[in-house]
Amino acid sequence: MPVRLHVNVDHVATLRQQRGTPYPDPVEAAVFCEQAGADGITVHLREDRRHIQERDVELLRALCKTLLNLEMAATDAMVAFAERIKPDIVTLVPENREEQTTEGGLDVVANREKIGEIKARLAEAGIQLSVFIEPDEAQIQAACELGVDTIELHTGDYCTADDDEAVESELERLAAAAKLAVSLEPDLTLAAGHGLNARNIPDLVTAVPELDELNIGHALISDALFSGLTDTVDRYRAAIEAGESER
């Protein structure tokens, strides 16, 4: 099955919040992305509400025709919000008010009990659970033992690698992590995200054939400033297909 493209529209909301205007609308952006062929929409409702707002998520739940993935911190308040809105899937991510963007993966090992409780609550509400983690053996084992529905591998180190040797090392690390995850839980959905763009996607998809989906936001929205959302989504889908063709 082809690797799915999920578009994160957070940074449409970032631009809106910068001026406090009603535009640009991340919900409208999500509609354009779906019409262009995106397989899902991702948003991160942060504690500080720096970009996506609760109303955005409510509207997306009403209008999204593909799959709605809500990224959020592992807090009781956010779980209660998810239980009310009922996204298709929740992705738990680490969150720090001082960071510009998510820095690294969630520590599932240290937060196993809390994540287990959240998983039970979400399952009761009919919501799947994903965890955003480093491509690390201990984190993958802990996530699989908890029975999460999806593991999203953090690709930040791969995307910031600054020479061919470092790139290859990170691809090998991601490939090993993917193989371990599917060996422990064959029915697991395997995703990846953070820092991905049209240039580094093909090598990742080639190196990690176990991938089911990619979550891409900042680079895609940035490219769309020059090319438009429809053409940019097409370009990113083509980048995925280029990687698949080299397997």
Query: Terminal CA-to-CA distance of the chain, rounded, Å?
Result: 13
Scan for tokens 């409702």, then name that residue: 45
Report how far residue 156's alpha carbon sits from residue 237's, in angstroms, rounded to the nearest whole number.
Answer: 20
CB atoms within 10 A of CB 189: 19
Q: Measure Cα distances from 127 to 58, 120, 142, 143 in Å.
A: 15, 10, 20, 17
Asked if residues 247 and 9 have their Cβ atoms less than 8 Å apart, the reply is: no
Is residue 194 flagged as an active site residue? yes
CB atoms within 10 A of CB 123: 13
Report how far residue 16's alpha carbon sits from residue 13's, in angstroms, rounded to the nearest whole number.
Answer: 5
Marked catalytic residue, from 71, 95, 185, 213: 71
Marked catalytic residue, from 11, 44, 51, 154: 44
Largest distance between two CA atoms of the chain: 48
Marked catalytic residue, from 134, 185, 194, 210: 194
Is residue 11 flagged as an active site residue? no
Q: Measure Cα distances from 160 to 3, 166, 170, 196, 197 in Å.
A: 22, 9, 10, 10, 11
Asked if residues 3 and 242 have their Cβ atoms less than 8 Å apart, the reply is: no
Is residue 71 flagged as an active site residue? yes
Q: Which amino acid is at 138?
A: A
Q: List the catalytic residues.
A: 44, 71, 194
